[in-house]
Structure 1
């Protein structure tokens, strides 16, 4: 009897507790509230794509592609699971609803999936039309050629072809040069001090590297060290890393060096000059002209200024220069990295200007000069393009050079000031003086746009500050920052 009574009391408590939980919603979240996210297994990853900015009833158009021919189309926010680790591309297209067209930003972005983790990508749609303008940052420089910045530093470091590095801050250039090596630089023809790159470990080691032509017209890569104050480098710290003979001609020196995402130093050299590569350097793997080179300078010593990275394609091949990463280039004045992609803007001869795009792990590519000029056979009706990598993007000079004459390569925009521009590669032309862009999806070039800016003059180079904002360098000595325009 006692046992029976206890059982009834226990059952009554259970019923009462269940009633209370139901009344207060203690049994779980309300309708539409997502539960806790289950982390993906350690061998695969996940990607959350957030789509916003569209009115009710209008769906987005988003495509996710990745390793193993992975493809998934999305119309709204969604989390994709069981993804093989690697690099994925999230591309979005414009959509129309109610007679209004909505543009996505960014139109293309990369997402790296890691095992056991969830990556994110955000696509924001907007019906506003973006226009760009230029803000002059500084004027009166002496043949500026390149602009860069130290990580975390708001100052700009500008190279001048006669052989000086100037610091630009608060709208003016400091009178005293950060570095002056004009006594060893020859600026005739296309030569001079052409670019600068800060070491990835600059905060620790104070190293930076310059690319210039010396008094004998050799291409020189030299390392310097920061000085006792942030305003001055140590002028006596010069240490030559590499010197490349460039006889006969005063053009096609290439001109840029940059550290890749792998931490190695890349430099782009011209083919040695003269029309049509008369010395046949570009595809000759025994010389360093007409190439993109990759070297390791992390442990530089007097006896061994650089070493050859293990992944270089010709490292262990007799009779070929192991420094070569890619060949078949005419005058790759400017190149840039964007995550796992490498963009090389190669100046053409008589007809075509080109941009070559490749994965950062794709060594040993032959971009075809002087068999090809862009996708045209150079100097012949037909030619054999077997084994050559043709450009991802090109344009014709046109009648009387209406389209341009010499491409000035830039960067893929990754700044914060204008998020709608994310993923767009910007370029100009020395003769055209315009500002244009396109988006590379990996399979094709889309969203080619002319930003209707034509009062820059001759554009020598692009530059990028520590915040990822882009600048244009004009031959007249002015530098402009690319900004959002307030004009319709």
Structure 2
């Protein structure tokens, strides 16, 4: 009985299988089948990415990004299918093999994918010496002063002096500002909206901070909150964190705020203006001008907008402002942090521009202004240098400011596109308009500055500021209202 039952089940299963096959074939009427590749749906497209110039067995390093946060890494030439129509970017990174580094050209290129069609992006690797070049990202900004990105964001946020924060997304600037506080911002002299910093916990709390000069010429740091949509902040959410009187002169407002690796907010303030710090603010520890300040804004409220971190050197010293982290600065327009070090530039008076590099934990340093301008005694043949922190790098203006007139500090490069540039500090000059770099080695032991290089990027105009995106790639903001991205040039 069991054997007969099994035979019955097998016969039944066979009949069902034959029926299913016949049904799939249209009832046995016959079908030519599919003899070639399935064409892409009419609503999507393809992108053929190819790279050449590498020795056999050495793979390229390619990354494709595009709409809807598309990201795909390739190690060979390949055609990517089923892509949403739109603009895609193909970036290529250097490849090292056998002690030789092969540079891609171009390092980055755009390709437009259309529905039902295949676009192409091709690149060539070569083994020549690396060069840098700039690519125009966007133009037409109104006096851009700073560029940054929120943590994990691909969008760029740019401040304009008249009081607006603009969004640049995939090479296009949104017409509607992210924030507009122009009614409370003064652009008198060197004033305006000068920088922006996103809270390290922006994804959770939505806070960001701006540094500007108000209609009474005060330096103001104010916190705002993200809005209901990602394209606009809440303009009524402002909480003034700090307001510093700057009553007499129209210059030397400083201009940057940034969160340090310790999570505290740092501010670089100018000395109050005028030649030679006539009010004596920079070394006056009862004044917040001419300083690097450090405050804790994590629990900011209207009643207590900030507190003083425990490690601040003058926290419990009578007659000295507890916010002060360092003093003796003339106009620290830009500074940045990297690998446990602070890179702090200070704009000089008439002769020298300087870059200071110190450990991030070094407090109560006196950078010497107005006793020193760089390593020169200011306005005197001799001066008392004891206790002053002198710059590790400086340059002369030269005749007719041939070398520059006002340093524009940048960043240590930590991006992905230019790995051979890793660890190099990039800087420029408002008058020079160039792009230069160096490697700081063993600063603590006095080994100093090596690999100084002028990258010969051509004339892009006066460089107002550097910017850095969420992936560590760097940008230059110019007096013409343009943003240029720093990338790889053609191999030499």
Q: Same fold (TM over 0.5)?
A: yes
Deviation for aligned residue 1:456: 1.1
Q: Is contact 2:428–2:436 with CA below 8 Å preserved after alignment?
A: yes
- Cα-to-partner distance string for 1:207-245 (whole Å, 9 max, x where unaligned): 000000000000000000000000000000000000000
State the partner residue of 2:168.
168
State the partner residue of 2:374.
374
* C-alpha RMSD over aligned residues: 1.7
| Residues 355 and 104 of structure 1, relative CA distance in 2, 3 Å threshold | farther
State the partner residue of 2:471.
467
Q: Is contact 1:330–1:346 with CA below 8 Å preserved after alignment?
A: yes
* 2:456 equivalent among 431, 452, 457: 452
| Residues 401 and 103 of structure 1, relative CA distance in 2, 3 Å threshold | farther
Deviation for aligned residue 1:301: 1.4
Q: What SS class does the counterpart of residue 412 from structure 1 fall into?
A: coil
1:355 aligns with 2:355: yes
- Cα-to-partner distance string for 1:18-41 (whole Å, 9 max, x where unaligned): xxxxxxxxxxxxxxxxxxxxxxxx
**Alignment partners' CA distance in 2, 1:370 and 1:218:** 22
Gaps of 5+ in 2: 1-97, 104-125
**Structure 1 segment 49-198 matched on structure 2, within 5 A:** 128-198=128-198
Q: What SS class does the counterpart of residue 409 from structure 2 fall into?
A: strand
**Alignment partners' CA distance in 2, 1:357 and 1:103:** 30
State the partner residue of 2:223.
223
State the partner residue of 2:486.
482
Q: What SS class does the counterpart of residue 293 from structure 1 fall into?
A: strand
> Which of these two proteins has the greater Rg computed from alpha carbons?
2
- TM-score (norm: length of structure 2): 0.74
- Cα-to-partner distance string for 1:79-117 (whole Å, 9 max, x where unaligned): xxxxxxxxxxxxxxxxxxxxx997999xxxxxxxxxxxx
**Alignment partners' CA distance in 2, 1:137 and 1:168:** 9
**Alignment partners' CA distance in 2, 1:404 and 1:212:** 26
Q: What SS class does the counterpart of residue 228 from structure 1 fall into?
A: strand
**Alignment partners' CA distance in 2, 1:451 and 1:146:** 22
Q: What SS class does the counterpart of residue 195 from structure 1 fall into?
A: strand
**Alignment partners' CA distance in 2, 1:336 and 1:128:** 31
Q: What SS class does the counterpart of residue 410 from structure 1 fall into?
A: coil
Deviation for aligned residue 1:152: 1.2
**Alignment partners' CA distance in 2, 1:431 and 1:331:** 16
Gaps of 5+ in 1: 1-99, 106-125
Deviation for aligned residue 1:327: 0.3
Deviation for aligned residue 1:316: 1.1
Deviation for aligned residue 1:187: 0.7
| Residues 299 and 377 of structure 1, relative CA distance in 2, 3 Å threshold | same
Name the count of aligned residue pairs: 369
**Alignment partners' CA distance in 2, 1:487 and 1:340:** 33
1:335 aligns with 2:328: no
**Alignment partners' CA distance in 1, 2:216 and 2:436:** 37
State the partner residue of 1:255.
255
1:387 aligns with 2:396: no
- TM-score (norm: length of structure 1): 0.74
Q: Is contact 1:101–1:127 with CA below 8 Å preserved after alignment?
A: no
